[in-house]
């Protein structure tokens, strides 16, 4: 059987009369990139919020590596291996690139924040941080001040910070947003490799990136998944074309 690392079952969440999530069931399996696409207001952020623990569903459940986490706070899910990136940048702009990566490693170790300074000289954490920076191609920028990085490099650094947590699952909310062609291309290459370390649930508007990366695509419209399939299946799905892809072209 395929190894399911993240699963939602019948997630439903209403805001007043709006059903932002309407019985959403999906899975994320080892090794895959599962993209969630849909027009503005379809309920993508609401879904991500329930998966990551910032929103509590009205009904339904969320399962992470076999553990039900529906009622658990975001930090507890992070400790179980859920890495969320790109919602709001958590980077400390005045710190160096390496310091930011070490902060991530520190979070994973469970140490309190005020031990940060000693942590920079802690060899294990430094090694973990340096390995993560090398993984995303930022080894040479390790001692640069984070504010000096390009937008695209900061995205890569956010991935490096997430990597220091040794995640079981990545959840990424529009990682390509605001990146130029070059930035999108290097992030696309990185995500393509990262799926082997941990599968990625990818909410993304950049359809070039989605079609290049996704093993499966789920299309969300008015809070409901109207189709799940491979790139080819989704491209050729009449309902999807009408509800979403047609609108975009
Ligand atoms: P997407 O991320 O796909 O653009 P959202 O999940 O942000 O969609 O929103 C889905 C629907 O839920 C929209 O109709 C939106 O207006 C509504 N919604 C989202 N969050 C709230 C909220 N906190 N209060 C009221 N309505 C909300
Ligand atoms: Mg959104």
pLDDT one-digit tens code per residue, 182-206: 889 989 999 999 999 999 999 998 8
Encode pLDDT of 15-47 as tens digits: 999 999 999 999 999 999 999 999 999 999 999
Q: How far is the CA of 44 from the centre of ligand 1 (A)?
A: 8
Mean pLDDT, rounded, for 211-218: 97
Judge whether residue 116 has pLDDT over 60.
no
pLDDT at 177: 87
Ligand 1 atom closest to the Cα of residue 49 is 6
pTM over 0.75? The answer is yes
Domain borders along the chain are: 1-81+167-249, 93-166
Q: Out of 11, 12, 15, 48, give the residue to mutate to test ligand 1, the one with the largest number of ligand atoms within 8 Å of its CB.
A: 15
**Token output for 17:** 């009369």
Model pLDDT, residue 53: 95
Element (H, E) at 94: none
Q: Which ligand is nearest to the CA of 20?
A: 1
Are the CB atoms for 48 and 247 separated by under 8 Å?
A: no
Q: Are 132 and 161 in contact (CB under 8 A)?
A: yes
pLDDT at 245: 64
Q: How many whole angstroms from 45 Cα to the centroid of ligand 2?
A: 4
Structural tokens at position 119: 């942590």
* pLDDT of amino acid 70: 97
Looking at per-residue confidence, does 246 or 94 come out higher?
94
Query: Ligand 2 centroid to 34 CA: how many Å?
Result: 17
- pLDDT: is 57 or 119 the higher one? 57
pLDDT at 137 over 80: yes
Percent of the chain past pLDDT 90, that is, above it, reads 68
What is the C-alpha end-to-end distance of the chain, expressed in Å? Answer: 38
Using pLDDT thresholds of 50, 70 and 90, give the confidence band for residue 114: very low
pLDDT at position 228 is 97
**Looking at residues 113-135, what average pLDDT do you find?**
76
Q: What is the pLDDT of residue 85?
A: 82
Q: Which two tokens stand for residue 166?
A: 């040794």
Q: What is the CA radius of gyration of the chain?
A: 18
Q: What's the pLDDT score for residue 239?
A: 87
Average pLDDT on 230-236 reads 95
- The C-alpha angle 234, 237, 52, rounded to 5 degrees, equals 40
Ligand 1-lining residues (CB < 6 angstroms): 15, 18, 20, 38, 40-46
- Rounded CA separation 185/137 (Å): 13
Tell me the C-alpha to C-alpha distance, in Å, between residue 203 and each of 11, 132, 166, 177. Answer: 17, 23, 21, 11
Closest CA to 53 of 80, 79, 75, 24: 75
Asked if 142 and 97 count as a contact pair (C-beta separation under 8 A), the reply is: yes
Closest CA to 4 of 84, 67, 60: 67
Asked if residue 136 has pLDDT above 90, the reply is yes
Using a 10 angstrom Cβ sphere, with 0-12 exposed, 13-18 middle and 19 or more buried, the burial of residue 228 is: middle
Q: Which CATH architecture has domain 1-81+167-249?
A: 3-Layer(aba) Sandwich (3.40)
pLDDT beyond 70 at 169: yes
Question: What average pLDDT does this structure show over 173-177?
Answer: 89
């Amino acid at each position: 059987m395929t190894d399911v690392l993240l699963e939602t079952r019948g997630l439903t969440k209403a805001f007043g009369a709006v059903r932002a999530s309407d019985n959403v069931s999906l899975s994320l399996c080892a090794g895959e990139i599962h993209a969630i696409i849909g027009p503005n207001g379809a309920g993508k952020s609401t879904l991500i919020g329930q998966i990551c623990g910032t929103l509590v569903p009205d009904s339904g459940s969320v399962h992470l590596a076999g553990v039900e986490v529906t009622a658990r706070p975001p930090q507890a899910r992070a400790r179980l291996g859920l890495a969320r990136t790109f919602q709001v940048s958590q980077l400390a702009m005045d710190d160096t690139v390496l310091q930011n990566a070490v902060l991530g490693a520190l979070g994973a170790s469970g140490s309190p924040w005020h031990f940060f300074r000693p942590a920079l000289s802690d060899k294990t954490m430094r090694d973990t941080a340096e390995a993560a920076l090398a993984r995303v191609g930022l080894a040479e920028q390790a001692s640069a001040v984070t504010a000096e990085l390009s937008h695209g490099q900061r995205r890569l650094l956010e991935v490096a910070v997430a990597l220091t947590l040794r995640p079981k699952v990545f959840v990424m909310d529009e990682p390509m947003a605001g990146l130029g062609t070059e930035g999108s291309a290097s992030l696309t290459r990185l995500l393509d490799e990262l799926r082997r370390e941990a599968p990625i649930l990818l909410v993304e508007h950049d359809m070039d990136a989605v079609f290049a990366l996704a093993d499966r695509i789920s299309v969300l419209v008015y809070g409901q998944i109207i189709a799940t399939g491979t790139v080819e299946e989704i491209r050729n799905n009449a309902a999807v074309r009408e509800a979403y892809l047609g609108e975009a072209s």
